[in-house]
């Protein structure tokens, strides 16, 4: 009589407990994020296309963020009970919109201002430097108010020249705080269109390369830079999979030649005819050094083109004051 325990035909199928699958949530690394972004801005400066002053400032600001991120530590992080409550309510772990925000984000902002002051600042726009001096002498309460206004996109109450500084400080706080909480503290949300860590909208989406994420599309948080997976050819706003198209700057998307060339484009606008919105798609396959925030700022002409065609942008770039003309 055969030993049934050893008969493979009647044994249950062995399913690995941890089947290999790409992690759908990737946290930003504060040690490299801002430095790599600064290097991306450097390449835009080198193009010498008339926007050197703007991208030179953005490179300087990213390096100040890098310096601040290397020393800053949040004063208060949510404890286990708070995290459990947020998980139970399908909330982000560190919501940007929360009234009782950790006021120590202002410390991150001051670290950015200090790092900027200490660096060689030749060629920075005078108005931007003046705004930095003003902010350095501004009270903690007022800085916190400016942070709240930016997170609420209440641009009427924020002078345009302070926006980049405030945005830089907020990003440093959220990137460092989310990294301190760690990947295990984060869970996917029911709502796929907002960041699982802070609840913010994406600045752009990214077609990734390398490892298990090869070729997959991730949305990139405008605030904490967390990346979360969303299948391709799906509207990141209304989640429709019908009526999705692509616009690019250098090609006519209505022609066959244009469609072929568009696949090599670093940045294109993914447009949705269901909700008339768009989000840019940045391809690391086309350029491995591309950065969602920097490459977005380098393609503001694409926003104008998309706007002309009647599509509204979904996610913010915190460094853009909408009341100002494109740089
Ligand atoms: Zn986020
Ligand atoms: Zn849509």
> Strand pairing partners for 267?
282
Q: How far is the CA of 196 from the centre of ligand 1 (A)?
A: 7
CA distance 185 to 80: 9
Question: 249: burial class by Cβ within 10 Å (0-12, 13-18, 19+)?
Answer: middle
Q: Is 153 left (phi over 0), alpha (psi -120 to 50) or beta?
A: left
- What are the tens digits of pLDDT across the range 105-130? 999 999 999 999 998 667 888 999 99
Ligand nearest to the CA of 28: 1
Nearest ligand to the CA of 274 is 2
Number of Cβ within a 10 Å radius of residue 153: 12
Q: What are 109's strand-pairing partners?
A: none
The chain-wide mean pLDDT, for the chain, equals 88
**Separation of CA 312 and ligand 2 centre (Å):** 10
Å from CA of 140 to ligand 1 middle: 24
Q: How many CA atoms lie within 13 A of 208 on its CB side?
A: 20
Each residue of 274-327: pLDDT tens digit? 999 999 999 999 999 999 999 999 999 999 999 999 999 999 999 998 765 443
pLDDT along the chain (327 residues), means of 10: 47 53 94 98 92 94 98 93 94 86 92 92 86 97 95 92 97 97 94 95 95 92 97 91 90 52 78 96 95 96 93 94 57
Superfamily of domain 202-313 in CATH is: FdhE-like domain (3.90.1670.10)
Helix H or strand E encompassing 145 = helix 140-151
Which ligand lies nearest the alpha carbon of 203? 1
For residue 278, the CA-to-ligand 2 centroid distance in Å is 8
Q: Which helix (H) or strand (E) holds 41?
A: helix 33-46
Task: Report CA(27)–ligand 1 centroid distance (Å).
Answer: 9
Rounded Cα distance between 226 and 194, Å, is 10
Range 215-231 burial, b when 16+ CB lie within 10 A, else e: ebbbbbbbbbbbbbbbe
Q: How close is the Cα of 319 to the center of ligand 1, in Å?
A: 15
Q: Which residues contact 70 (CB under 8 A, 6 or more apart)?
A: 30, 31
Q: Is 208 helix (H, G, I), strand (E, B) or coil?
A: coil
Comparing CA positions, the residue from 203, 240, 206, 191 lying closest to residue 92 is 191
CA-wise closest residue to 316 among 212, 167, 173 = 167
Ligand whose nearest atom lies closest to the CA of 194: 1
The pLDDT value recorded for residue 5 is 46
Backbone angles phi, psi at 270, to 5 degrees: -90, 110
pLDDT, tens digit, 9 for 90 and up, residues 10-19: 454 454 455 5
Q: pTM of the predicted model, to two decimals?
A: 0.89
Q: What is the Å distance from ligand 1's center to 255 Cα?
A: 37
Residue 138 pLDDT: 97
Within the chain, all domains assigned CATH 3.90.1670.10 are found at 27-185, 202-313
Q: At what angle do helices 126-136 and 105-118 cross, to 10 degrees?
A: 130
Half-sphere exposure at residue 215, Cβ-oriented, CA atoms within 13 angstroms: 0
Contact of 248 with 236, CB cutoff 8 Å: no
Q: Is 301 left (phi over 0), alpha (psi -120 to 50) or beta?
A: alpha
- The alpha carbon of 265 and the centre of ligand 2 are apart by a number of angstroms equal to 22
CATH superfamily of 27-185: FdhE-like domain (3.90.1670.10)
Q: Is 118 exposed, middle or buried (0-12, 13-18, 19+ CB in 10 A)?
A: exposed
């Amino acid at each position: 009589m055969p030993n049934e325990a050893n008969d493979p035909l009647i044994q249950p199928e062995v399913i690995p407990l941890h089947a290999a699958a790409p992690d759908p949530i990737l946290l930003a690394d504060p040690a490299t994020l801002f430095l790599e972004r600064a290097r991306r801005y450097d390449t835009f400066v080198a193009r010498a296309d008339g926007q050197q002053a703007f991208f030179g400032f953005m490179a300087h600001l990213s390096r100040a963020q890098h310096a601040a991120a290397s020393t800053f530590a949040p004063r208060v992080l949510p404890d286990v009970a708070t995290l459990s409550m947020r998980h139970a309510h399908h909330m982000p772990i560190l919501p940007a919109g929360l009234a009782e925000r950790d006021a120590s984000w202002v410390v991150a902002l001051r670290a950015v201002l200090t790092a900027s002051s200490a660096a060689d600042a030749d060629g920075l726009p005078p108005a931007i430097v003046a705004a930095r001096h003003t902010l350095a002498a501004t009270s903690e309460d007022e800085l916190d108010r400016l942070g709240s206004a930016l997170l609420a996109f209440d641009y009427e109450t924020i002078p345009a020249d302070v926006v980049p500084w405030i945005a830089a400080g907020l990003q440093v706080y959220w990137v460092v705080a989310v990294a301190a909480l760690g990947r295990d503290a984060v869970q996917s949300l029911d709502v796929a269109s907002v960041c699982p860590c802070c609840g913010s909208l994406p600045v752009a989406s990214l077609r990734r390369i390398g490892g298990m994420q090869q070729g997959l599309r991730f949305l990139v948080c405008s605030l904490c830079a967390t990346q979360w997976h969303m299948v391709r050819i799906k509207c990141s706003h209304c989640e429709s999979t019908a009526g999705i198209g692509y616009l690019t700057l250098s090609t006519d998307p209505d022609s066959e030649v244009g469609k072929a060339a568009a696949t090599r484009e670093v940045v294109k606008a993914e447009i949705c005819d269901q909700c008339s919105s768009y989000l840019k798609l940045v391809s690391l396959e086309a350029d491995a050094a591309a950065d969602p925030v920097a490459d977005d700022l380098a393609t503001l002409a694409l926003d104008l083109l998309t706007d002309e065609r009647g599509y509204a942008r979904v996610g913010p770039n915190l460094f853009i004051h909408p009341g100002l003309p494109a740089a």
